[in-house]
Amino acid sequence: MRKSIDFCILLLSIVVLVSSCAQPIDQRRDLELLTSIENALVNVVTRSKPAIVSVFVRGIEGSQPQDRVGSGFIFRKEGYILTNHHVVRDPRFITVKLLDGSRFEAELIGTDLNTDVAVLKIERDEAFPVIPLADSSRVRVGQFAIAIGNPFQLNHTVTTGVVSGKSRSILQGGFGFIRYQDFIQTDAWINTGSSGGPLLNIRGEVIGINALIRRRDKSENTPAPAMAGAGFAIPINLVKTVGDQLIANGRVIRGYLGVFMREVKEGIRVRPGGTNTPAYLGGLRRNDIIYEYNGKKVKKSVDLQLLVAESQVGERSVIRVLRQGHERTFNVTIGELPPHLAGQPVEIKSVAWEMLGLSVRKLQTGDFERYTYLTNRDQGVIVERVKEQAPGYEAKIPNGALIVAINDHKVMDVRTFEALLQANQDAEELILNVKSSHGTERITVNLRK
């Protein structure tokens, strides 16, 4: 009995001793864990800062000069910088400042109003530091997020938080152009001047470009229900696609279906925007519900928008719909997003517009990558817009068509195209050699009033 009592006392003493030692051990472990996390964040910031830039813009607002400040980051060692369109729009001069204080005059390579993405270029003999890009499709809600930017001209300000949400569409309509919205939401604070800076993961990879913050006020773009502290970034996969096209062409060429959309339980209910849209010509009709696009299920309008936008012009896309409860499949030839929906100006003070109702642009390097019917050996001009009821419209010349020749005279560029039209102003008709998704055609355009 005594031995049992002694054993119990000994066991109790061991438990008390272990318990008294456990708290300091756990504290040390907690401190080591927190220190490891802290060091990881510091290392990400230290590695990333040399490639993050401050952007200073002398722009125009109406007839008055206006200075703007934003952020950006170098993503190619040749000096290509990603930032926001709204930071660098309508610039007179753009200056970029690096972490080491060096300043460069930047060239605006191109901007894309639809996604609010822009690309700048700076130059020097040695390679620039860069930040690696993540795969934003693998971003998880709840993961760490690190925002670095130039708020209030406080260079390389760092804020941290988590990814609060994905696939956010928060901006209201009324733009007059299509706005592609697939924002990453974060509580990492984004202030005025942070726009264009990177949103990073714990590995130091860019998951998005910081674009805006919503707060409770009465301004047009921040309605009352929006709460303070919600920042939004453009996913880097979308940004990279846009950036690569801007570098190749100075502009973005997007696919176009031509439908109004509304999300419903089964998918996306659509209404073609006219009888000459790719959707209507491909067989889609009012109240069709699209549930699959080229083998991918679609539930959200933004998903369908982005899939169509990334399709090549002239591509035959397989679209599955529900029509009055029955499944139907259509092969729809994708068109090109019209310039006015891309927020681009269209040249209408031209001979081509006056005679044919056509606005054209030069054929650019890289166009053959976005148009299925073009090759890098083609020459001519691309049709950007067709005026309704004009001769070109009556002749059914489609948007995105390549005009190769007029009356068997080769069209080399916009200047020769205009000159050939000028020389035939008194003609009753013209024969245009055209390449489009319909193939190669000789189209007769009747010019008689």
Identify which of 378, 430, 426, 424 has the alpha carbon closest to the alpha carbon of residue 400: 378
Among 113-127, 175-189, 293-307, 363-377, the minimum mean pLDDT is found in: 175-189
Please tell me the predicted confidence (pLDDT) of residue 216. Answer: 52
Q: Kindly state the percentage of the chain with pLDDT values over 70.
A: 87
CATH number of 37-250: 2.40.10.120
**Residue spans per domain, the chain:** 37-250, 255-336, 346-446
Among 58-62, 88-92, 230-234, 326-330, the minimum mean pLDDT is found in: 58-62
> pLDDT tens across 339-377, in order?
778 777 666 678 999 899 998 988 887 788 889 999 888
Among 28-32, 126-130, 177-181, the minimum mean pLDDT is found in: 177-181
378 in catalytic set: no
> pLDDT tens across 202-226, in order?
999 999 999 887 655 545 554 444 4
Please tell me the predicted confidence (pLDDT) of residue 449. Answer: 60
pLDDT score of 40 more than 70: yes
> Of the segments 14-18, 34-38, 90-94, 279-283, which one has the largest average pLDDT value?
279-283
- Under the banding of pLDDT at 50, 70 and 90, the label for residue 227 is very low
Please tell me the predicted confidence (pLDDT) of residue 317. Answer: 96
Active-site residue, from 54, 71, 116, 317: 116
Strands 64-76 and 52-61: antiparallel
pLDDT score of 118 more than 50: yes
pLDDT score of 51 more than 80: yes
- Under the banding of pLDDT at 50, 70 and 90, the label for residue 290 is very high
Please tell me the predicted confidence (pLDDT) of residue 193. Answer: 79
The CATH class of the 346-446 domain is mainly beta
**pTM, rounded to two decimals:** 0.76
pLDDT score of 169 more than 60: yes
Strand partners, 83: 118
**Residue-averaged pLDDT of the chain:** 85
pLDDT score of 181 more than 70: yes
Please tell me the predicted confidence (pLDDT) of residue 223. Answer: 46
86 in catalytic set: yes
Please tell me the predicted confidence (pLDDT) of residue 63. Answer: 64
In contact, 281 and 333? CB cutoff 8 Å: yes
pLDDT score of 425 more than 90: no
Active-site residue, from 54, 71, 136, 195: 195
Do the first three CATH levels of 255-336 and 346-446 match, i.e. the same topology? Answer: yes
> pLDDT tens across 295-324, in order?
999 999 888 999 999 999 999 999 999 999
Domain 255-336: CATH architecture, name and number where available? Roll (2.30)
pLDDT score of 19 more than 60: no
What the block records as the tokens of 380 is 């001519």
Give the pLDDT mean for 415-440.
91
pLDDT score of 116 more than 70: yes
Please tell me the predicted confidence (pLDDT) of residue 228. Answer: 57
Please tell me the predicted confidence (pLDDT) of residue 229. Answer: 62
> pLDDT tens across 238-287, in order?
999 999 999 988 888 899 999 999 999 999 999 998 888 999 999 999 99
What the block records as the tokens of 91 is 């610039």
